[in-house]
């Protein structure tokens, strides 16, 4: 059972009840009028009936679905015959399907369109799911059956995938605390419940502070901003009932502003509003949540027999240990820091012409863009007109079509959860349906920051399911009548998230618990990051990077753009790697001082690392949702670990002389994208590349070698 618990929780009883006891207290199903409880009319695709669902429908639907799941799990423990793979492990894969579907439908909306009604439902729903997860994973009778099958595994004649499922199922129970003494199991359940509640609170505080940190600017403060971006900011202000121009505190809005705004005071205002999210002296400050989460993570790790939370997390990863992860991070960080210092010196000379003696964090992007324009004859505003969103989506479709032979067939008939969301059916060249893909490109006040992929349904041959996946981004909405344009970095994000989507769509496994992206954190980013490389392929850009008149990007501009790909990589890399290092250091703590101050601790660590103040972290702790509301605690290093693989993996295509080599693409699909978690991820990578990578290709890819 690949059960869905996405952040959240409430306190629960000291002793986790058994599934049998839970089944006896199951609540009655609500009225059949609830659209989530009937047969979804969108089946067999498995799309939630979003057009019919109200926020008030989710909680009663889950009440009923969880009662059904409890009965299904209780039936497994009541089987009189001895535990077998079929009546225990495979039975778990078939249990809880309704609640998983409803949970996926809810959390998809909770991340992308968290209206006040959805937010109000999030904490009680998360609490229900965490209570259910605790009861299931800590049920002695259920674990006894799983453990009995596990102990016989060598004599059961299982297939490799069945063996992997058995081992992974047993591992999940053990890592959840099922093998602990009763009082320890009860404490783990309490910790899980409180952490889930804290995760919801962190996400909601961050979203509220993001809204509160939007900045209203005057005409003078918008000096240097391109006309299209100004029009979009004016519309955003008007929509908020404000005069002037509104810059939302999202990366997709702030970074372009910092790059082009000539008013230094306005840059400072916008940067500080964005950078201080979660650290302001208001009700949305996240410091107390961070401190309590650290205490709970440390306590749980000790209960599980691990030295630290980082040790506990990395047991279930390719890296295996915090030391191995830190070793890779430092191999990247040291040359990146040297490059960042060189970059800062160059920018300081450029800024001196404007009378700016010290480069501040709000100055870096502005002067870096000036230096890039000087060095490569590039103008960001002029360049952006050749990157329309619809053109980049077409580039994405052509790329995946050339690599894998798939086609996109738009499905406007499918229900969506918010205006502007689009749906496609993904098909093989012979017309066979692979799965469904939903795209939600634009920012909205109710959407959490960042970009991500959700799964509404995991592929499974056992259940006859095809994948249904969603990509979310936070691109800026254009003004009425204007084209949506994005940057090359945004286009990379577009490709990145669709790489995750392909991981889900191309999955070819039997069991849902092993499907698609159900792999370790430091492997899950490989499919997404390797897919980014194709947006820089000249033939793709020549075909799709076109301005409003349909004119392709000029060859000189294209050549300069590609030449500039490694420009400013010291800054970019130090920002990312310092975030990963602090995440790992934070979660190697063995205790939390009573006066722990996340802001002060962060500053001390950055000083010790020698991170220039003008560079800083990509994600400050106060708003680091990856590690406090996103499942990446002690795992942000995974992006760099995966980058070592993606750079090396893409090198295989370059070595072949054909970036769209069909044989290699088929091998990547077969050995990596289709495999899910049916074998150790290192085996999957070796099956594709022939060996494991090191940091060399990564450093070369970033121009740091």
Q: Are 493 and 391 in contact (CB under 8 A)?
A: no
Q: Are 61 and 49 in contact (CB under 8 A)?
A: no
Residues 334 and 614: their CA atoms lie apart, in Å, by 17
Residues 60 and 29: their CA atoms lie apart, in Å, by 8
DSSP lists the bridge partners of residue 388 as 485
196 three-class SS: helix
Phi, psi at 470, each rounded to 5°? -130, 135
Residues 51 and 418: their CA atoms lie apart, in Å, by 9
Residues 348 and 364: their CA atoms lie apart, in Å, by 9
Catalytic residue chosen out of the listed positions 72, 497, 537, 643: 497
Cβ neighbours of residue 86 closer than 8 Å, sequence gap 6 or more: none
Q: Are 623 and 277 in contact (CB under 8 A)?
A: yes
Cβ neighbours of residue 689 closer than 8 Å, sequence gap 6 or more: 645, 648, 649, 652
Residues 602 and 272: their CA atoms lie apart, in Å, by 16
Q: Using CB atoms within 10 A of its CB, is residue 477 exposed (0-12), middle (13-18) or buried (19+)?
A: middle
Chain center to CA of 13? 32
Name the percent of the chain in helix, strand, coil, to the closest 5: 60, 5, 35
The continuous run of DSSP H or E covering 473 comes out as strand 467-475
DSSP strand E in 392-444: where?
A: 407-410, 422-427, 433-442
- The DSSP call for residue 25 is T
DSSP strand E in 318-466: where?
A: 407-410, 422-427, 433-442, 452-457
CB-facing half-sphere around the CA of 600: CA atoms within 13 A: 5
Token reading at 571? 């800054």
Cα distance between the two ends of the chain: 44
CB atoms within 10 A of CB 622: 25
Q: Which of 487, 503, 411 is nearest to 452 (CA)?
A: 503
Residues 343 and 91: their CA atoms lie apart, in Å, by 58
The continuous run of DSSP H or E covering 314 comes out as helix 309-314
Q: Are 100 and 85 in contact (CB under 8 A)?
A: no
Strands 407-410 and 422-427: antiparallel
Q: Are 628 and 199 in contact (CB under 8 A)?
A: yes
Residues 566 and 67: their CA atoms lie apart, in Å, by 54
CB-facing half-sphere around the CA of 450: CA atoms within 13 A: 17
Strands 467-475 and 433-442: parallel
Residues 476 and 415: their CA atoms lie apart, in Å, by 23
Q: Is 555 a catalytic residue?
A: no
| Max CA distance (Å), the chain | 83
Residues 59 and 123: their CA atoms lie apart, in Å, by 10
Task: Supply the Cα-derived Rg of the chain in whole angstroms.
Answer: 25
Q: Cite the active site residues.
A: 497
């Amino acid at each position: 059972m690949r059960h869905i618990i996405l952040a959240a929780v409430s306190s629960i009883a000291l002793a986790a009840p058994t599934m049998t006891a839970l089944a006896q207290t199951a609540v009655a199903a609500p009225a059949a009028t609830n659209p989530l409880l009937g047969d979804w009319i969108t089946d067999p695709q498995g799309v939630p009936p979003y057009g019919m669902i109200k926020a008030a429908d989710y909680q009663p639907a889950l009440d009923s679905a969880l009662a059904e799941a409890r009965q299904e799990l209780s039936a497994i423990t009541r089987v009189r015959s001895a535990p077998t793979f079929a009546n225990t492990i495979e039975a778990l894969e078939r249990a809880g399907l309704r609640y998983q579907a409803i949970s996926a439908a809810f959390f998809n909306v909770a991340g992308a369109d968290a209206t006040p009604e959805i937010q109000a439902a999030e904490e009680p729903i998360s609490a229900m799911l965490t209570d259910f997860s605790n009861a299931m994973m800590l049920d002695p009778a259920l674990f006894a059956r799983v453990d009995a099958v596990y102990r016989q595994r060598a004599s059961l004649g299982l297939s490799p995938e069945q063996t992997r499922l058995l081992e992974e199922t047993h591992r999940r129970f053990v890592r959840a605390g099922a093998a602990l003494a009763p009082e320890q199991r009860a404490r783990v359940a309490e910790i899980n419940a409180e952490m889930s509640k804290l995760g919801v609170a962190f996400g909601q505080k961050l979203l509220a502070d993001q809204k509160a940190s939007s900045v209203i600017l005057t005409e003078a403060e918008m000096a240097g901003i391109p006309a299209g971006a100004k029009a979009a900011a004016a519309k955003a202000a008007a929509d908020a009932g404000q005069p002037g121009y509104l810059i939302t505190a999202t990366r997709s809005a702030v970074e372009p502003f910092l790059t082009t705004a000539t008013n230094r005071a306005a840059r400072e205002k916008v940067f500080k509003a964005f950078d201080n999210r979660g650290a302001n002296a208001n009700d949305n400050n996240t410091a107390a949540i961070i401190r309590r989460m650290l205490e709970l993570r440390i306590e749980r790790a000790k209960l599980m027999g691990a030295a630290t939370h980082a040790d506990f997390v990395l047991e279930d990863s390719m890296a295996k240990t915090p030391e191995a992860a830190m070793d890779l991070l430092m191999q990247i960080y040291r040359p990146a820091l040297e490059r960042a210092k060189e970059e800062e010196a160059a920018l300081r000379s450029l800024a001196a012409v404007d009378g700016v003696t010290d480069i501040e964090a709000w100055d870096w992007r502005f002067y870096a863009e000036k230096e890039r324009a000087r060095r490569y004859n590039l103008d960001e505003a002029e360049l952006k007109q050749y990157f329309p969103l619809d053109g980049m989506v077409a580039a994405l479709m052509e790329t995946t079509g050339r690599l894998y032979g798939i086609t996109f067939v738009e499905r406007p008939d499918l229900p969506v959860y918010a205006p502007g969301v689009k749906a496609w059916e993904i098909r093989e060249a012979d017309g066979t349906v692979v799965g469904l893909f939903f795209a939600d490109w634009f920012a909205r006040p109710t959407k959490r920051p960042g970009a991500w992929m959700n799964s509404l349904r995991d592929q499974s041959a056992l259940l006859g399911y095809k994948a249904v996946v969603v990509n979310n981004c936070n691109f800026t909405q254009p003004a009425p009548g204007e084209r949506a344009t994005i940057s090359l970095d945004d286009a990379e994000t577009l490709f990145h998230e669709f790489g995750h989507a392909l991981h889900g769509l191309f999955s070819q496994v039997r069991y849902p618990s092993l499907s698609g992206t159900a792999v370790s954190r430091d492997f899950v980013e490989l499919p997404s990051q390797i897919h980014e490389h194709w947006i820089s392929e000249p033939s793709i850009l020549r075909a799709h990077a076109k301005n409003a008149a349909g004119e392709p990007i000029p060859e000189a501009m294209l050549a300069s753009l590609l030449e500039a790909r490694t420009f400013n990589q010291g800054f970019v890399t130090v920002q990312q790697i310092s975030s990963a290092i602090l995440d790992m250091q934070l979660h190697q703590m063995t205790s939390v001082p009573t006066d722990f101050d996340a802001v002060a601790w962060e500053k001390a660590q950055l000083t010790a690392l020698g991170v220039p103040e003008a560079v800083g972290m990509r994600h400050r702790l106060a708003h680091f949702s990856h590690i406090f509301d996103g499942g990446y605690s002690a795992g942000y290093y995974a992006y760099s670990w995966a980058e070592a693989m993606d750079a090396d993996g893409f090198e295989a295509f370059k070595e072949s002389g054909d970036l769209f080599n069909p044989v290699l693409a088929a091998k990547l699909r077969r050995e990596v994208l289709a495999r899910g978690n049916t074998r150790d991820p290192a085996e999957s990578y070796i099956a594709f590349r022939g060996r494991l990578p090191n940091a060399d290709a990564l450093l070369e890819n970033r121009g740091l070698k």
